[in-house]
Amino acid sequence: MKSLLVAINSKYIHPGYGVYQIVANSKYPVDYIEFTIKDNIESIIEKITKTNYDLLGFSVYIWNVEIVKRILKHLEQINFNGTILLGGPEVSYQADYFFTNFKIDYIIKNEGEESFNELLEYLQNLRPITNVSNLYYQQNNQVHFTYDKLPDINNIKPAHHFVDDLEHKIIYFESSRGCCFNCTYCMASLEPRIRPFPLDLVKSNLSELLRKKVKTIKFLDRSFNIHLKNALEILKFLIENDNNYTTIQFEVVGDILNRQIIDYIIKYARPGYFRFEIGVQTTNPQTTKAIRRTLDFEKLAKNINLLRDKVGLHLDLIAGLPYENKESFKKSFNDTFLLFPHELQLGFLKELKGTQISKEKELHQYVFSNTAPYEVIENKYISKEDLEEIRIVEKMVNRLYNRGLFNQTIHYLVTNNYYQPYDFFFEVGVYFINNNLNSLTYQLHELFLNVYNFLKTNPNLDSDYILFLLKQDYLSHFKIRPKIWWDNPLTPQEKKDVFQKMTVLYPHLNMDMLYRYCRIEKYQNQYYAILYLPNKVESYCFTI
């Protein structure tokens, strides 16, 4: 048989890991091809049909399901007469829908490394269809399912060697499969048993990737730190083999991070080597209980403060969860933001077929979008209008905070109670909308000026001091002298006097260096100096 597996990725940097895994573990020759969701449909159809394949297989996820549907309709229109196979999380729990609405032959549910080989054997008359695991098929206009079976994890081969352009792509990596939690909104809850890969294999594969100096390795483990012994051994291995280039990302359960792990990272890890993704989701106890999570927020805050200087911290929130209205979500947002993670992702609940949230959506009067990514529109606790307000907040968080552009200014505003975090992002977002301003402009000087003009509307703020802070955020974002969007308040003589003071405060500096490379700003008797040196940037804050 001639088989082709098709991966349609969300972005170029995200490789088709699911397809790679099937190809790497196939007993039979199989081709594969990758696209992105931005590729032209006609071009995709032409490329996958120019060779007469007996089987076309598509890996289907929430980010590509709509384009896969369109491809399936095109294949039907051109009378493709080969076998069509679907796999992936977006088809594993809605087989009836796909068999009813599209001309397909088979769906493999969940993990498919062994099932794919068994299906090929069936198609070559080497086994009965009832002996193919995890398979949906149609017979006499009825959808049938064979049986569930998890592949032997000790026999699964890794697939990272399929990834090219390692400097620009994320390498997905598994040290285990499954999840011990039962979160009602997450498909990982449908596989409750954790199955670790052999540690020797994990270390061997990591060693190869580190030698190749890949840019980013992202662990797919749903709860990396659940097995303390394995987690600590992997972390130790990574630290001992650090290539001073690669970044490693993990999903961790932040409030149960073991102190042994924390202390080891603090003592031995290179700053920025590790990045932890931590799902907070909500701080509402009723909501937490409803979605079957536990959260010790005080412990989480303590662990974040311990790790802040060593680990990149990415925290997640979900809007639209049960029992959480707008005021409750604002509290969850403010609680979480005031931990000052390096990045805060504000997401919206999605209806993932097979999850408890999907099964109980009538209970909470959920209305979800009919097309991917199936985001919540409203429920009995939060209105469509409230969620649209939260989307304004999300947009401004991504633009102003997650890129690290306004960190010092925002920290000052919220810690001194000029704004609650949620209110700041909402109000600045409304200001941009009302004044027809583009918050996504790539001209940073325009963005900073617009934020400054917004802050000047707050009568409680000292606009001169805010400008002083904004200047620091702006200037520190560049490696060479940027375009200035303000007037310089220093006279030449004052500038000379300050430079002379700096040579006393910082003996390694000299006047020639300062005149050539330094930009200096002041507020009353406070000064901020930044030097754009040929190979680095240095900044100084001092009072005269």
Report pLDDT for 27.
96
Does residue 85 sit in helix, strand or coil? strand
138 and 236 belong to one structural domain:
no
Q: Which of 421, 539, 527, 436 is nearest to 478 (CA)?
A: 539
Identify whether 388 is part of a domain.
Answer: no
Which of residues 362, 382, 402 is at a domain's end? 382
Question: How is 50-79 classified by DSSP, letter by letter?
Answer: SS--SEEEEE--TTTHHHHHHHHHHHHHTT
CA distance 93 to 353: 6
**Which residue's structure tokens are 């977006």?**
90
What's the mean pLDDT in 318-333?
98
288 and 374 belong to one structural domain:
yes
Of 29-38, 141-150, 182-191, the one with minimum mean pLDDT is 182-191
Q: What is the CATH number of the domain that holds 104?
A: 3.40.50.280
Report pLDDT for 162.
82
pLDDT digits (tens, 9 = 90+) for 200-213: 999 999 999 999 99
pLDDT digits (tens, 9 = 90+) for 156-181: 998 888 888 777 889 999 999 998 88
One-letter amino acid at 214 equals V
pLDDT at 424 over 90: yes
Residue 187: which domain range? 165-382
Q: Which of 246, 252, 154 is nearest to 207 (CA)?
A: 246
Identify whether 132 is part of a domain.
Answer: yes
Identify whether 475 is part of a domain.
Answer: no
377 and 325 belong to one structural domain:
yes
Report pLDDT for 188.
84
Identify whether 470 is part of a domain.
Answer: no
Helix axes 407-415, 463-475, angle to 10 degrees: 140
pLDDT digits (tens, 9 = 90+) for 40-75: 999 999 999 999 999 999 999 999 999 999 999 999
Q: Residue 218, CB half-sphere, CA atoms under 13 Å: how many?
A: 12
As a whole number, the mean pLDDT across the chain is 95
CA distance 433 to 455: 15
One-letter amino acid at 451 equals V
pLDDT digits (tens, 9 = 90+) for 243-258: 999 999 999 999 999 9
What's the mean pLDDT in 401-407?
96
Q: What is the CATH number of the domain that holds 288?
A: 3.80.30.20
- Contact present, 59 and 18 (Cβ < 8 Å): yes
Report pLDDT for 180.
85
pLDDT digits (tens, 9 = 90+) for 91-118: 999 999 999 999 999 999 999 999 999 9
Residue 61, C-beta contacts closer than 8 angstroms, at least 6 positions apart: 10, 18, 88, 89, 90
CA distance 483 to 167: 31
pLDDT at 187 over 90: no
Q: Is 336 exposed, middle or buried (0-12, 13-18, 19+ CB in 10 A)?
A: buried
355 and 234 belong to one structural domain:
yes
Q: Which of 70, 47, 48, 68 is nearest to 59 (CA)?
A: 68
Q: Residue 255 gets which letter from DSSP?
A: G
Residue 498 in tokens: 């300050």
Does residue 456 sit in helix, strand or coil? coil
- Contact present, 185 and 321 (Cβ < 8 Å): yes
H or E, element range at 289: helix 285-290
CA distance 65 to 372: 7
231 and 356 belong to one structural domain:
yes
Split at pLDDT 50, 70, 90, the class of 193 is confident
Q: Please, what is the end-to-end C-alpha distance for the chain in angstroms? A: 80
Report pLDDT for 459.
96
Report pLDDT for 126.
97
Which of residues 360, 382, 404 is at a domain's end? 382
Question: How is 220-242 classified by DSSP, letter by letter?
Answer: --TTTTSSHHHHHHHHHHHHHT-
CA distance 255 to 304: 9
R_g over Cα of the chain: 27
| Total count of domains within the chain | 3
**Which residue's structure tokens are 């196939």?**
26
pLDDT digits (tens, 9 = 90+) for 236-292: 999 999 999 999 999 999 999 999 999 999 999 999 999 999 999 999 999 999 999
Identify whether 310 is part of a domain.
Answer: yes
Identify whether 479 is part of a domain.
Answer: no
Identify whether 427 is part of a domain.
Answer: no
127 and 229 belong to one structural domain:
no
Q: Which ranges of 78-141 does DSSP label H, i.e. alpha helix?
A: 95-101, 113-123
CA distance 279 to 49: 42
Residue 530 in tokens: 């930044």
Which of residues 340, 360, 382 is at a domain's end? 382
314 and 186 belong to one structural domain:
yes
In this prediction the pTM is 0.93
361 and 261 belong to one structural domain:
yes
What's the mean pLDDT in 83-96?
96
200 and 343 belong to one structural domain:
yes
CA distance 271 to 277: 16
179 and 128 belong to one structural domain:
no
Report pLDDT for 192.
66
Q: Is 418 exposed, middle or buried (0-12, 13-18, 19+ CB in 10 A)?
A: middle
pLDDT digits (tens, 9 = 90+) for 342-365: 999 999 999 999 999 999 999 999
- Contact present, 354 and 383 (Cβ < 8 Å): no
CA distance 375 to 367: 9
Does residue 258 sit in helix, strand or coil? coil
136 and 229 belong to one structural domain:
no
Identify whether 233 is part of a domain.
Answer: yes
pLDDT digits (tens, 9 = 90+) for 480-526: 999 999 987 789 999 999 999 999 999 999 999 999 999 999 999 99
3-state helix/strand/coil string of 303-358: HHHHHCCCEEEEEEEEECCCCCCHHHHHHHHHHHHCCCCCEEEEEECECCCCCHHH
**Which residue's structure tokens are 């080969």?**
82
253 and 113 belong to one structural domain:
no
Does residue 88 sit in helix, strand or coil? coil
Percent of the chain residues topping a pLDDT of 70:
99
Residue 542, C-beta contacts closer than 8 angstroms, at least 6 positions apart: 501, 502, 505, 526, 527, 529
pLDDT at 340 over 80: yes
Does residue 38 sit in helix, strand or coil? coil
